[in-house]
Amino acid sequence: MIKRVYFRCKSLGKSPYSYDVIEASLAIQLNEEVIYLGNYLIQPEDSTNIQSDEWLKKCNIESNYKFQYTKETASKEICRVLDKHINKFVKEDRYILVVLNDIKDDNRFLEQLIYKTSYFKSYFFSSFIDVRVLFAELAKYKLHRSPDSTLIDIAKAFQIYTEYPRTTMDELKLVYGSYTIIQQFINNLYNHE
């Protein structure tokens, strides 16, 4: 059985060890079907300047942004959802983590987000899929050049069309776009054999 978790987050900085996640989105895929889509708006632990216009602008956040979870409640909820589809105590029963762009350390942000609630490696295999790197490499052979590294540009290079705006703040749409790209690419591989 194929078990994948597509994950994307927005954080206050580049280091998962120094900065908080403020938005986390994930999709769970079992075989060919997405069975869960979740988006978590997370209150930063250090919220001294949280509502200042300067802070909102720095984080590319709209002024009506409403946090729904603390880090602890988001962590517990994410782990609860992940627990439904695997047995953490069986080594072979893990998810494959799919991230949109590991340069941003999404996998390490997820690990830091859930580390107080559960052990990261009890959910995920040690290797993961980086959608941007995978498709940029494949595009070199197909297009004889590298496309821009955004998800939308890579999708266009493979003539895969996703339905979300380029400037969206909703990380969940990017997560679902990653799933769409991988599924359509796999389908194209099988159809061209």
Q: Following DSSP, what letter does each residue of 101-164 receive, concatenated?
A: -GGGTHHHHHHHHHTTTS-GGGTEEEEEEEHHHHHHHHHHHHHSSPPPSSHHHHHHHTT----S
pLDDT at 3 over 80: yes
Average pLDDT estimate for 75-97: 93
pLDDT at 74 over 90: yes
Give the residue with greater pLDDT, 42 vs 146.
42
Report field, pTM of the whole predicted structure over 0.85: no
- Kindly give, in sequence order, each residue whose CB lies less than 8 Å from that of residue 155, ignoring residues fewer than 6 positions away: 161, 162, 177, 180, 181
pLDDT at 71 over 70: yes
User: To which CATH superfamily is domain 3-191 assigned?
Assistant: Ribonuclease H-like superfamily/Ribonuclease H (3.30.420.10)
Average pLDDT estimate for 117-131: 87
Average pLDDT estimate for 53-59: 57
Strands lying side by side in the sheet with 124-130: 33-41, 21-30, 3-11, 95-99, 124-130
Q: Give residue limits of the domains in the chain.
A: 3-191
